[in-house]
Amino acid sequence: MRPRSAAALIALALCAGAAAQERALPLERLKPGTDFLGADLRALQSDDLGNPAMLWVERGAKMWSERAGTAGRSCADCHQDAAQSMRGVAASYPKFDAARGRLFNLEGRINACRTGHQGAQPFAHESQELLSITAYVASQSRGLPIHVGIDGPARAHFEAGRAAYYRRRGQMNLACAQCHEENWGKRLFAETVSQGHPTAYPAYRMEWQTLGSEERRLRACLSGVRAEMLPYGAPEYLDLELFLAWRAEGLKIESPGVRR
Amino acid sequence: MAARIQVPQQAKRGEPMPVRIIVQHPMETGYRHDEVGHPIKRNVIHELSCRYNGAEVFRADLSSGIAANPYIQFFTVADASGVLEFSWIDDEGVRGSERAPVVVA
């Protein structure tokens, strides 16, 4: 390659990099979901007994060392102590798995472990088992900053997620950005619109009276703008989760959180 | 039905100590309907009690007004080291119980 075209390529790559780093919400203005909660829910989340999500975390801790599937292996048999092996893992998801050639969120990754390494059936979406083990794994990253990779094969998913985020949809004809970028901090009936960062999931939502995944939360927003809810496991949710995680870069994981 | 109990690591003899419990339960109110309009039967923990070294120190009658995964706190006087035994029953007759040790100094 001639030096001049190489230089041009590098310049192009730099431009593309700069464009990708363009943030509608600059990092220093990011606020986690807890900032938009009332004092009562904040207190509940930080109280390890009162936080109802800890019931699921405790169950997940038991599941961690339970053998499953035809391989008769537990999570602990490969990953040993979750406090060490799973520390920070949730903060780096969704993540592209080169070996399997697809993007995984934490739930998907856990199910891939079940089918691939344990020889077990995958857990159903929103099943108590999947929520419990996900909450347990995610809780090992509490207090650690979110950082996801969006380069290489993850780039296409990231761009699809960004497009989904800015696309108007539903009878209300609203995009995610119109609430969570342009109008965060304002009141929507009795609630304060948040910036929409997925720092707490799986989270215990008062509205649900139970623990739920980030995907369930996205579905709730889709329902809120009266858009069609895609089925659980639809790739668009994954893409969106990746974009949201990138958007929340540096915010600390609170899982398992408490939300309204 | 899982539950988590919290008592002070060490209680002072003769002093009141806080006791907290959270029980995993949907607390179905009986006022909701399913997707096709049939009423969902009420299923709540309607009775929960706590024995401290065999003697009942707390009892609650719960009903539809209590949120899922009920969280209860009460105070009892720390008399002696021993055990707190909680037991509860829901509308379907399912019983649960959980115990926690108490250390009094």
Domains of chain B, CATH where assigned = 3-102 (2.60.40.10)
Between A9 and B91, residue with greater pLDDT: B91
In this predicted structure, what is the pLDDT of residue A189? 87
In this predicted structure, what is the pLDDT of residue A21? 57
How many interchain CB pairs under 8 A, A with B? 32
Q: Domains plus CATH for chain A?
A: 29-259 (1.10.760.10)
Q: What is the pLDDT of residues A109-122, one digit of tens each?
A: 999 999 999 999 99
- Rounded to two decimals, the pTM is 0.90
- Name the token pair of B104: 């009094």
Mean per-residue pLDDT, A215-244: 95
Residue A4: pLDDT band with limits 50, 70, 90: low
Contact of B20 with chain A, judged by CB distance below 8 Å, is answered with: yes
For chain A, where are the alpha helices, taking DSSP H only?
3-20, 39-46, 54-64, 75-79, 82-85, 106-113, 128-139, 154-166, 176-180, 214-224, 235-247
Q: What is the pLDDT of residues A51-82, one digit of tens each?
A: 999 999 999 999 999 999 999 999 999 999 99
Which residues on chain A are in Cβ contact (under 8 Å) with B24?
Answer: 52, 55
In this predicted structure, what is the pLDDT of residue A12? 47
Could you give the maximum distance between any two Cα atoms of chain B, in Å? Answer: 58
| Cβ–Cβ gap B67/A58 under 8 Å | no
From CA A211, how far away is CA A192, in angstroms rounded? Answer: 21
Mean per-residue pLDDT, A18-40: 84
Query: Is the four-CA dihedral A204, A205, A211, A217 of positive or negative sign?
Result: negative
Contact of A129 with chain B, judged by CB distance below 8 Å, is answered with: no
> For residue A20, is pLDDT > 60?
no
Given its phi and psi angles, is residue A25 left (phi above 0), alpha (psi -120 to 50 degrees) or beta? beta
- Name the token pair of A34: 């807890």
Nearest to B68 among A54, A58, A210 (CB): A210
In this predicted structure, what is the pLDDT of residue A207? 93
CB within 8 Å of B80: residues ≥ 6 apart = B13, B53, B104
| Cβ–Cβ gap A209/B26 under 8 Å | yes
* Contact indicator for B49, B59 with CB cutoff of 8 Å: yes
- Name the token pair of B68: 């899922």
In this predicted structure, what is the pLDDT of residue A191? 87
From CA A70, how far away is CA A12, in angstroms rounded? Answer: 51
Q: How high is the ipTM of this complex? A: 0.90
Q: Three-state DSSP class for B102?
A: strand
> Tens place of pLDDT for every residue, chain B, 105 residues?
689 999 999 999 999 999 999 999 999 999 999 989 999 999 999 999 999 999 999 999 999 999 999 999 999 999 999 999 999 999 999 999 999 999 998
CB within 8 Å of A35: residues ≥ 6 apart = A194
What's the per-residue H, E or C state across A109-174? HHHHHHHHHHCCCCCCCCCHHHHHHHHHHHHCCCCCECCCCCCCCHHHHHHHHHHHHHCCECCCCE
Residue B2 Cα, gap to closest chain A Cα (Å) = 7
From CA B78, how far away is CA A86, in angstroms rounded? Answer: 40
Looking at A15, A75, A78, A221, which residue is catalytic?
A221
Work out the number of other CB atoms within 10 angstroms of the CB of residue A66. 10
* Residue A179 annotated to the active site: no
> For residue A18, is pLDDT > 70?
no
- Residue closest to A191 by CA, chosen among A174, A176, A179: A179
Q: What is the pLDDT of residues A185-207, one digit of tens each?
A: 999 888 899 999 999 999 999 99
In this predicted structure, what is the pLDDT of residue A22? 80
In this predicted structure, what is the pLDDT of residue A246? 97
In this predicted structure, what is the pLDDT of residue A6? 52
According to DSSP, the residues that pair with B52 across neighbouring strands are: B55, B84
Helix pair A54-64, A128-139: axis angle to 10 deg: 90
Q: What is the pLDDT of chain A when averaged over all its residues?
A: 91
Q: Three-state DSSP class for B12?
A: coil
Q: Three-state DSSP class for A195?
A: coil
> For residue A138, is pLDDT > 80?
yes
Q: What is the pLDDT of residues B76-93, one digit of tens each?
A: 999 999 999 999 999 999
Which residues on chain A are in Cβ contact (under 8 Å) with B22?
Answer: 49-50, 52, 54-55
In this predicted structure, what is the pLDDT of residue B62? 95
Residue A19: pLDDT band with limits 50, 70, 90: very low
